[in-house]
Homo-oligomer: A and B are copies of this chain.
Amino acid sequence: MREWNQVSEWTSGQSGEVPHTDCPVRKVLDHVTSRWGVWVLMALAGGDLRFHELRGRIPGVSEKMLSQTLRTLVRDGLVWRAVEPATPPRVTYGLTPLGRGAGEPMATLLGWIRDHAGDILATQSEYDRACAK
């Protein structure tokens, strides 16, 4: 594993000054960890899906946010979009190799969090009790 001490390496290849927002790493991270981006990636990892199938699998997502999220991920090259010209239109989404590459470590992180959510909640109660007294 490489050295993480120099966080500034990540800003943009340059040191200091540069706000993290302009860092491409930050941007992609924001996209894949975005409120709905995560679930889109996870849902598509199970197989290609059409717009409304995807919507059905992600409880709570609005059409606006779903299409917005998809556009971002397509633009990043993580998701592909295929239109079959027909009436009614058929649009299918799926993961690109790049998307599968991003989804894997994301799934690992998510899996870790799921497995330790209990510990974390427990720590919080303990912490809150300690603060209360």
Q: A-side interface residues toward B, CB under 8 Å?
A: 1-8, 10-11, 15-20, 24-25, 28-29, 32-33, 35, 38-39, 42-43, 45-47, 57-60, 74-78, 98, 101-102, 104-114, 116-117, 119-124, 127-128
User: Which residue of chain B is the closest to A57 with respect to CB atoms?
Assistant: B7
Min distance, Cβ A120 to any Cβ of chain B, angstroms: 5
A110-B25 in contact (CB<8A): yes
Does the CB pair B10–A39 fall under 8 Å?
Answer: yes
A8 B76 Cβ-Cβ under 8 A: no
Across the interface, A59 reaches (CB within 8 A) one of B11, B33, B117, namely B11
Cβ-defined partner of A24 (8 Å) among B25, B98, B121: B121
